[in-house]
């Protein structure tokens, strides 16, 4: 995140426009503090483009954006302005920009807001000329009449083509899934059908991902209209589902859903058609609750990086307006005009009934997830998967290691995708213990129906502790079970168990079958993957706990030292620090010295004194240093901080592993599990008896051969290898401590 220092007489302004989105405040904070670090004078335009017209513009300091990252909405306000669409309105806006000597503008909003910024940039020279001609300004009021624009996409619909993420989408999904989990309880009690309408005018992202995360039995999205007889099919699904033992029917409809004839299909129409067919249902329209509430950890994290990226774009002096995007799990930039045009082209395709083009605009991965959802909604495996008097393939699945939220979504996917492919799924109970003691059963289609919302593993897990004779017992059970393949979901303990089975093939022919390990670890420390099932839920638990800890401060000036899990991975510590606005973060990957700690104590004391702040925050990974423990750091800051603050410590412990899985953990679990099943079936089909481990790298699912583990360090031992999130630590310090304070200690 290298930002060059600028030497400019101009200033920079930030505005939020259009619909609000959780995470906008994180982006504002990232923009403001990175811009101040770069040497800009920074202004906020309050109430969006209308504020630009009215001159509602105020200069911001470092302290102006303190303690806002955890707030929903936008603290600088937003509004829709019809006046800005007129040239007369834009003339007023330019006059105010010139008054404050603003020649750079950051806009956080949707495609309409970003298009407005680009129109203003393009017209800027002619608007300046018109103001000069009318005598509203003199030639001395402006130098070179140019305006540079950068943008960040704030849209809960996640509808911008060219970016895998838009600010607010993850938080909105949190609100939706929380509501669906709550509705499931009452729906189960009454064996009732609920129709839930969610936002998504031109994009079905929220509806589709909510359906995958909640285990919905119906989903209507704009890009994939249902067939002509959709109501009859839905009635059949509901009635047959009741016979099969399904007690809950959640039907999710995006507000922009249409039928095959391009006629609007909302919740009321779905309810009416079901009523005609004798099916009673209830409607819940979530509405603006989807925009509300505190932003998720992911929204805070990525929006902060988006804000910093906007300033990076502005200091790069690019002629074309740029927007910050997330592609392949990395924050970067792309051209504003092309991205907006591609997004609007997808909208036009929907309006014209060209659903194939609209679907392709969402990307191959989105289309794949839509296909998975169609299979997961079924009441039973498709006809082609049923017995033809041949022995079915049998895939065993087990969960191993410590608790990780999201594992049940993976199990549900493995069971249903495996059965849909014509295989049998042998569910091994109690993890390694069940492998040894022969505890297993053949899973049925409806068994994992409501598993998604549960933490831990519904099959049971456990930590494998090697004892003599284990492998012989497992081999005997595999022979009895007639296993053709094995999927292990778990942490490094699960990987080590699979490694023992793989290496024992010469002694036990039963292990000469395809095997694959799926990463599930809150520490996010497994080789070959930038993401492990459970890490996002843990991160949200940490950030939620930090919010509560910070709110406990009243008038006292206090610094908190919070210890988080992670073993020898700094992922949770780094991401939690960036998402919560912590001042310091101590991780195992970066050596920690006593000199550094002393420097940080004095710097924190200076920050309290000079900024008149009330809280400070330090995040420490549990294994950051063998000697400099959480107790030691808290004592040092208390002793050397003087009278500026007192210190409290908090060790979060197992709370990080518990709770209902986050939407991201559920969805990524579905994704990884799907590829694991597909890889295993392909290996069996071509008689390849290899072992593999799966992971997400740069946003793509990658299948690694087991031999690659030799080149990976043991994640449960201290290493100094560079991690993909390593640059987060630099960003934490740059965004948390005022450069004026930092420069005092250099």
Of 540, 559, 740, whose CA–CA distance to 656 is shortest? 540
Beta bridge partners of 415: none
Q: How far is it, in rounded angstroms, from Cα 641 to Cα 557?
A: 11
What is the per-residue pLDDT for 7? 44
173-210 pLDDT tens trace: 999 999 999 999 999 888 889 999 999 989 999 999 99
Which residues belong to the active site?
157
Query: What pairing do the DSSP bridges indicate for beta strands 440-442 and 558-564?
Result: unpaired
679, 677, 669, 724: which is closest to 706 by C-alpha? 679
- Beta-bridged to residue 558, according to DSSP, are 615, 646
397/440 Cα distance (integer angstroms):
9
pLDDT value for 553: 75
Residue 465: predicted pLDDT: 86
What does the H/E/C string look like for 226-262?
CCCCHHHHHHHHHHHHHHHCCCCEEEEEECCCECCCC
pLDDT for the residue numbered 160: 95
Mean pLDDT per segment of 10 residues, for the chain of length 746 residues? Answer: 54 95 97 95 97 97 94 94 94 94 96 94 94 84 82 95 96 97 91 94 95 96 95 94 92 95 93 95 95 96 97 88 95 95 94 93 93 94 71 95 95 97 97 96 96 95 88 97 97 95 96 98 96 98 95 83 96 97 95 94 92 90 96 96 92 93 98 97 95 95 94 86 87 91 74
Task: Give the residue from 679, 693, 669, 395 showing the smallest Cα distance to 517.
Answer: 693
253-266 in b/e form (b: 16+ CB < 10 A) is bbbbbbbeeeeebb
Gyration radius from the chain CA atoms? 28
Tell me the pTM.
0.95
How far apart (Å, rounded) are the C-alpha atoms in residues 690 and 708?
A: 12
Q: Say how far apart CA 603 and CA 583 lie, in whole Å.
A: 10
Q: How far is CA 144 from CA 102, 129, 334, 447, 465, in A?
A: 12, 11, 25, 68, 71
- 376-431 residue pLDDT tens: 999 999 876 666 667 899 999 999 999 899 999 999 999 999 999 999 999 999 99
Instruction: Give the pLDDT confidence score for residue 15 in this predicted structure.
Output: 97
Residues in the chain: 746
């Amino acid at each position: 995140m290298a930002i060059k220092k600028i030497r400019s007489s101009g200033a920079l302004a930030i505005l939020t426009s259009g619909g609000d989105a959780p995470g906008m405040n994180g982006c504002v904070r990232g923009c403001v503090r990175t811009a101040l670090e770069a040497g800009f004078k920074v202004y906020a335009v309050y109430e969006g483009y209308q504020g630009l017209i009215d001159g509602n513009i105020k200069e911001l300091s470092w302290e102006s954006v303190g303690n806002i990252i955890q707030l929903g909405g936008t603290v600088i306000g937003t509004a829709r302005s019809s006046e800005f669409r007129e040239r007369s309105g834009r003339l007023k806006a330019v006059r105010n920009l010139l008054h404050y000597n603003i020649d750079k503008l950051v806009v956080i909003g949707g495609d309409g807001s970003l298009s407005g910024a680009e129109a203003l940039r393009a017209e800027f020279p002619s608007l300046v000329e018109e103001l000069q001609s009318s005598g509203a300004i003199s030639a001395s009021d402006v130098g070179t009449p140019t305006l540079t624009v950068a943008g960040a996409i704030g849209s809960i619909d996640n509808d911008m083509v060219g970016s895998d993420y838009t600010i607010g989408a993850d938080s909105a999904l949190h609100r939706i899934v929380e509501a669906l989990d709550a509705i499931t309880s009452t729906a189960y009690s009454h064996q009732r059908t609920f129709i839930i309408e969610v936002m998504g005018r031109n994009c079905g992202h929220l509806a589709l991902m909510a359906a995958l995360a909640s285990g919905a039995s119906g989903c209507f999205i704009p890009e994939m209209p249902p067939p002509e007889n959709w109501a009859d099919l839905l009635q059949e699904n509901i009635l047959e589902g009741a016979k099969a033992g399904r007690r809950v029917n959640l039907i999710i409809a995006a507000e922009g859903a249409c039928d095959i004839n391009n006629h609007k299909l909302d919740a009321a129409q779905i309810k009416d058609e079901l009523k005609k067919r004798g099916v009673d249902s209830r409607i819940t329209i979530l509405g603006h609750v989807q925009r509300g509430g505190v932003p998720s950890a992911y929204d805070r994290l990525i929006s902060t990086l988006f804000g910093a990226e906007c300033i990076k774009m502005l200091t790069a002096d690019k002629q074309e307006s740029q927007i910050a995007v997330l592609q392949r799990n990395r924050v970067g930039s792309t051209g504003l005009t092309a991205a907006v045009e591609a997004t609007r082209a997808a909208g036009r395709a929907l309006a014209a009934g060209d659903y194939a083009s609209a679907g392709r605009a969402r990307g191959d991965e989105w289309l794949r997830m839509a296909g998975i959802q169609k299979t997961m909604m079924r009441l039973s495996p498709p006809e082609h998967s049923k017995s033809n008097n041949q022995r079915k393939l049998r895939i065993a699945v087990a969960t191993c290691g410590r608790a990780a939220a999201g594992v049940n979504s993976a199990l549900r996917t493995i069971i249903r995708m495996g059965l849909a492919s014509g295989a049998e799924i042998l569910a091994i109970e109690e993890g390694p213990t069940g492998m040894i003691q022969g505890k297993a059963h053949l899973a049925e289609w409806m068994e994992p129906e409501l598993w998604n919302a549960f933490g831990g593993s519904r099959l049971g897990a456990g930590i494998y502790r090697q004892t003599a004779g284990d492998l012989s017992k497992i081999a005997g059970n595999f022979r009895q079970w007639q296993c053709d393949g094995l999927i292990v979901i778990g942490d490094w303990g699960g990987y080590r168990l699979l490694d023992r089975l793989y290496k024992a093939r010469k002694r036990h022919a039963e292990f000469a079958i395809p095997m694959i390990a799926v990463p599930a670890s809150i520490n996010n420390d497994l080789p070959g993957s930038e993401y492990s099932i459970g890490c996002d839920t843990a991160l949200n638990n940490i950030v939620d706990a930090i919010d509560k800890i910070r709110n406990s401060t009243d008038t006292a000036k206090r610094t908190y030292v919070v210890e988080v899990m992670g073993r020898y991975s700094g992922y949770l510590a780094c991401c939690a620090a960036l998402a919560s606005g912590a001042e310091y973060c101590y991780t195992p990957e970066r050596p920690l010295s006593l000199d550094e700690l002393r420097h940080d104590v004095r710097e924190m004391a200076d920050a309290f004194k000079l900024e008149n702040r009330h809280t400070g925050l330090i995040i420490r990974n549990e294994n950051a240093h063998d000697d400099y423990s959480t107790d030691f750091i808290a004592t040092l800051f208390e002793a050397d901080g003087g009278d500026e603050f007192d210190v409290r410590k908090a060790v979060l412990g197992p709370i990080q592993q518990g709770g209902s899985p986050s939407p991201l953990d559920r969805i990524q679990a579905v994704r990884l599990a799907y590829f694991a099943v597909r890889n295993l079936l392909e290996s069996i089909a071509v008689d390849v008896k290899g072992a593999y481990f799966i992971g997400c790298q740069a946003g793509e699912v990658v299948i690694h051969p087991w031999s690659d583990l030799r080149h990976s360090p043991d994640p449960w031992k201290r290493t100094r290898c560079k991690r993909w999130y390593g640059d987060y630590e630099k960003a934490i310090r740059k965004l948390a401590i005022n450069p004026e304070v930092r420069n005092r200690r250099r």
